[in-house]
């Protein structure tokens, strides 16, 4: 993302018109246990894009930036992703259960997501949320910035069969 922005931004500025669209995630708005590495990268995308947008606004060069925060988008990514074995029992009962849960959560159609992104760019929005889940999690994190974390821990304890070692404390490579 950073390298791509550095490569294309000079051309956009030279044209006097353009828009950088960086995709974060709802996990760039809302942290979730067992996903610390993923959360960190998505928060980084958000921070980079927000700072870039402010810099471009100050330069008045005709180029802008938008950070996209999709919730669950119905694509093959979920079906083909690997579930970290360390997460079984930490936040999920089994890989099969995790996939079934993801299928229920991934409700936004990819074509609809693309339309929402384009509409956000046309309106020059700083942030674009995609899906009801994204709006809900954004609202929760904004309205209850400290309390939402306690709520997530509480919900995770109820869902998980037993506590496990967090991924960052193992020697395993983190995976989705």
Q: Catalytic site residues?
A: 38
C-alpha count within 13 angstroms, C-beta hemisphere, residue 133: 18
Other C-beta atoms closer than 10 Å to the C-beta of 23 total 18
Bridge partners of 92, per DSSP, are 88
CA atoms within 13 A on the CB side of 52: 23
Interatomic CA distance for residues 163 and 170, integer angstroms: 14
Q: Which residue has the tokens 């509480």?
A: 154
Q: What CA–CA distance (Å, rounded) separates 3 from 22?
A: 12
Extract the tokens encoding 64: 């802008």
Tell me how far apart the alpha carbons of residues 21 and 37 are, in angstroms, rounded to a whole number: 22
């Amino acid at each position: 993302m950073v390298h791509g922005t550095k490569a294309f931004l000079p051309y956009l500025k030279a044209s006097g018109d353009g828009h950088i669209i960086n995709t974060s995630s709802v996990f760039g708005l809302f942290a979730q246990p067992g996903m610390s590495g993923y959360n960190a990268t998505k928060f980084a995308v958000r921070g980079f894009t927000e700072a870039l947008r402010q810099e471009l606004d100050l330069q008045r060069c005709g180029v802008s930036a938008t950070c996209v925060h999709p919730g669950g988008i119905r694509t093959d990514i979920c079906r083909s992703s690997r579930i970290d074995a360390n997460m079984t029992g930490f936040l999920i009962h089994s890989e099969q259960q995790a996939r079934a849960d993801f299928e229920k959560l991934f409700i936004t159609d990819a074509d609809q997501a693309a339309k929402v992104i384009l509409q956000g760019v046309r309106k020059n929005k700083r942030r674009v949320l995609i899906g009801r889940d994204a709006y809900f999690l954004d609202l929760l994190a904004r309205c209850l910035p400290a309390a939402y974390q306690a709520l997530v821990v509480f919900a995770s304890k109820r869902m998980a069969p037993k506590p496990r070692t967090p991924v960052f404390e193992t020697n395993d490579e983190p995976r989705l």
